[in-house]
Amino acid sequence: MRPLIQKFTPSRGFSHTFYFVYNALLPLIVFLLVRTSFVQLALSLILLSKWRMFAVRPRFWLANIRANAIDIVIGVSVLAFMTALNNEGVQLLWAILWASWLIYIKPRADTLWVSLQASIGFTLGMTAMFLTWDHAPLYVLVGSAGLLCFFAAHHFFDSFDEPYTRLLAFVWGYVGASLTWILSHWLLFYGPVAQPTLILVAIGLGLGTLYYLDHFDRLSLNVRRQIIFIMVAVLLVVLAFSDWGDKIV
């Protein structure tokens, strides 16, 4: 069942101006709240900005949450990046990038852009999760990774009208949770990026690209081999250059 409210596509005139101003002000206000150390208030503002998800009958709430999950993930991830950094210029840059997402990327509903939305949300969400919750209990990391993988996959496959969207999303959620459970016993970091993030993003983007090209009959044998080679090469490099010694919890 599709959600009653999926995306807000601005029209011309006053509503278009209001939409632009609203989405430009939200990142700016969050930036100012972070600079003044009101992080919890900034988080509340991000969540309250999605109030329209619940402006329908309760039976549509779960569907609307699923449809807006990637947008929420990106907003919370940007807040996490702002909080982790104490550089005003970098924080402002994140606010500008978030505004670009809200104004330019988020409203687009064609297959390519929806696929990019899922990829961006998945990458930022996984990075922010391990960056802020690196000392969280294992069950929190596993559950959060599973949910994030589920929402990203559902957002991706839903744009193709895939009949097995929910099943594929659950499978990818299970894969993400399982790999996170295994790799979190080591939880190695490459700068600000955790090893589970690199591996899951490499696998997810590789499989997503294969599915996208195959859906539009653009997946030749040579292209398939190149994508698989790149995906396997990234995984081998990550695994080969990881310090597996005395990191077991």
* pLDDT tens readout for residues 82-104: 999 888 999 999 999 999 999 99
What does the domain layout of the chain look like in residue ranges? 1-107, 109-249
Cα distances (Å, whole numbers) of residue 106 to 102, 118, 193, 218: 5, 10, 25, 26
Residue 15 pLDDT class (50, 70, 90 cuts): low
Structure tokens at 231: 């995906």
Q: Quick one: which of 183, 182, 201 has its CA closest to 242? A: 183
Mean pLDDT for the stretch of residues 109-115 = 93
Residue 72 pLDDT class (50, 70, 90 cuts): very high
Residue 114 pLDDT class (50, 70, 90 cuts): very high
Q: Quick one: which of 165, 145, 158 has its CA closest to 118? A: 158
Is the predicted pLDDT of residue 247 greater than 80, yes or no? no
Rounded to two decimals, the pTM is: 0.87
Q: Quick one: which of 152, 145, 198 has its CA closest to 174? A: 145
Mean pLDDT for the stretch of residues 116-130 = 95
Q: What is d(CA 156, CA 148) in angstroms, rounded to the nearest whole number?
A: 12
Is the predicted pLDDT of residue 14 greater than 70, yes or no? no
* pLDDT tens readout for residues 168-220: 999 999 999 999 998 887 788 888 888 899 999 999 999 999 999 999 989 88
Mean pLDDT for the stretch of residues 28-55 = 92
Say if residues 106 and 78 touch (Cβ distance below 8 Å): no
Residue with the bigger pLDDT between 1 and 198: it is 198
Residue with the bigger pLDDT between 102 and 22: it is 102
Taking each helix axis from N to C terminus, what angle separates 165-183 and 195-215, rounded to the nearest 10 degrees? 160
Give the pLDDT score at 53.
87
3-state secondary structure the chain: CCCCCCCCCCCCCHHHHHHHHHHHHHHHHHHHHHHCCCHHHHHHHHHHCCHHHHCCCHHHHHHHHHHHHHHHHHHHHHHHHHHHCCCHHHHHHHHHHHHHHHHHHCCCCCHHHHHHHHHHHHHHHHHHHHHHCCCCCHHHHHHHHHHHHHHHHHHHHHCCCCCCHHHHHHHHHHHHHHHHHHHCCCCCEECCEEHHHHHHHHHHHHHHHHHHHHHCCCCCHHHHHHHHHHHHHHHHHHHHCCCCCCCCC
